[in-house]
Amino acid sequence: MFPRPSPATLSDAVLPMTSNPWRLSVAPMMDWTDQHCRYFHRLLSRHALLYTEMVTTGALIHGDVGRHLRFNAEEHPLALQLGGSEPADLAHCAKLGEQWGYDEINLNCGCPSERVQRGSFGACLMAEPQLVADCVKAMVDVVSVPVTVKHRIGIDKTESYEFVRDFVGAVSEAGCKVFAVHARNAWLKGLSPKENREVPPLRYELVYRLKREFPGLTIAVNGGITTGKQVAGQLEQLDGVMIGREAYHNPWWLASWDSEFFSAAASESTRESVEEQMVAYMAREAAEHGTPWSAIARHMLGLRHGLPGARRWRQVWSDHRLKTLHPRDVMALAHGAVQEAA
């Protein structure tokens, strides 16, 4: 069992400089937003809300809890996203999440993958708003942290606003006050998860209607947002913005978030200083948990996005033939490759 952060450590965690922690967040992304990715993102933004990748109730009930819930105290504010559809199981796992120190429990009602559908959760849950309401109430009853829901605006080719309105209405009555809305439908058949992020049209106007109809709820939008100007525009209409793949592929963007959207001092970090801190983290993870540096470095390959020599830098950090080297030696090789490319 991995140790969870101590209460003393959690009390020192950096919290957002706003009463609305959902103002800007990095979306939960399967196979991407693990604890190493989140540690990296926290070096770039001290205030953005971070989410775990989805953890199923089955994985926590029948698997290694520590492996799934371990995180670094520096990652706060941090939300645990759960996947499941049994109220009792979700209540048990939500309680585990709170005990481990997560700041929020989020229920996945947006993933369209067939694997998730076979487990009867994810986006297909939107067809059963009362079941989702029961799941939310079961979690709300046992934890004191916020219970939130991430969902789509619809499923398959049903483009009725009333569908998502009734879903949000039913779930909010069960105690959910925060909704992260991916502004696309989820097509449960015929599209891959990747296509589901691109093919169904974005319809932000439905999310705006939700906010107008439910002014007392916190509504954040997700999907297709890739620039600071777009974020600012969405915040004129909504309470928050959730950024997905752009944050992962172009992580240096996060370094501007605190000053631009949280009224905090501008970051004094450089790409080089962040890379240095990641190398120290890699060494620590290797010593304490046997984590290979490559499992961590994969998340920072976009750090030099758009700079001369970025391709050669990425090639070095992703070269598994170097896996026996200390990460500091790999960093030296990467910097040498950048100089050669220049």
| DSSP one-letter string for 19-60 | S-TTSEEEPP-TTTSSHHHHHHHHHH-SSSEEEPPPEEHHHH
Is residue 179 pLDDT above 90, yes or no?
yes
Does residue 164 contact residue 206 with C-beta atoms inside 8 Å?
Answer: yes
d(CA 126, CA 109): 6
User: pTM for the full model?
Assistant: 0.92
Question: What is the structure's pLDDT at 13?
Answer: 40
What is the CB neighbour count within 10 angstroms for residue 32? Answer: 18
pLDDT of residue 15: 42
Backbone φ and ψ for 113, nearest 5 degrees, come out as -65, 150
Domain ranges of the chain: 7-261, 271-341
In order of 152, 159, 198, the CA distances from 187 in angstroms are: 10, 11, 11
pLDDT at residue 118, as a whole number: 60
- CATH 1.20.120, applies to 271-341: yes
**In terms of pLDDT, which residue wins out, 310 or 113?**
310
**Lowest-pLDDT range of 16-25, 84-93, 284-293, 311-320:** 16-25
Q: What is the CATH number of domain 7-261?
A: 3.20.20.70
How many CB atoms within 10 Å of residue 253?
20
* pLDDT (0 to 100) of residue 115: 62
Among the listed residues 93, 109, 111, 176, the single catalytic one is: 111
Residue ranges in the chain assigned as alpha helix (H): 7-11, 35-44, 57-62, 65-69, 87-100, 114-118, 129-140, 161-173, 193-196, 204-213, 228-235, 245-249, 257-261, 271-289, 293-297, 310-317, 327-341
Q: Given this chain, do its domains 7-261 and 271-341 carry the same CATH topology?
A: no
Q: Phi and psi at residue 26, in whole multiples of 5°? A: -100, 125
3-state SS class at 180: strand
- 281 contacts 296 by C-beta, under 8 angstroms: yes
pLDDT at residue 18 above 70?
Answer: no
Instruction: Specify whether 111 is catalytic.
Output: yes
